[in-house]
Amino acid sequence: MLPAFRRTHVTSNAIGLLLHYTLDLSTAGGLGLRRVVWMASVINGPSIGAAERMGFKREAVLRWALVLPEGKEQGNGRERRKGDPRENLVGRDTVVLAICWDDWENGGEEQVNAIMARKF
C-alpha cells in the first residue's frame, strides 16, 4: 500500500473487500476459501498491525524465511553465516498470520464490516 493510504479507509476497504471475496461462500459471490494467509517481515509493524486489526491471528514466525536481494540492508539483524556463498546478503524473518472460515463466520465478518463502515 502506498504510504499516503496507510492507516486510512483505503487500506481497510481494500483488505475488507479481498476478505469478503475470498471467504464468502460462492452462493454469496465469493470463492469460499477456508483460509487466507498474510505474511510480513517481523520488522514491518504497520503491515502486521493492519492484518491484526482486520481479524488475522498470528500463527508463526518463520526464521530465515528469505534471503533478501543485494542492496537490501534491513533484514533480521542476526549474524550471517560464515562461509555462506551469499554471506553478504541479509536474511528476513517472516510473521505468518491467518484468518480462517470459522473466524470469519464467528465474528470476523462483522469486525471487518464495522471497520469498513466507519465514518471519516
The predicted-structure confidence for 34-79, as pLDDT tens digits, reads as follows 999 999 999 999 999 999 999 999 999 999 998 888 888 888 878 7
Global confidence as pTM: 0.86
Q: What is the pLDDT of residue 1?
A: 65
Q: What is the pLDDT of residue 2?
A: 67
* Residue 6 clears pLDDT 80, i.e. is over it: no
User: What domains, with CATH codes, occur in the chain?
Assistant: 3-77+87-117 (3.40.630.30)
CA triple 84-90-95, angle to 5 deg: 120
Exposed/middle/buried for residue 106 (C-beta within 10 Å: 0-12, 13-18, 19+):
exposed
Q: What is the pLDDT of residue 120?
A: 64
116 or 7, higher pLDDT: 116
CA triple 14-114-59, angle to 5 deg: 65
Which residues, including other chains, have CB under 8 Å from residue 82's CB and lie 6 or more apart? none
Please name the residue that has the C-alpha cell 482486520. 54
Mean pLDDT of the chain: 92
Helix (H), strand (E) at residue 52: helix 45-53
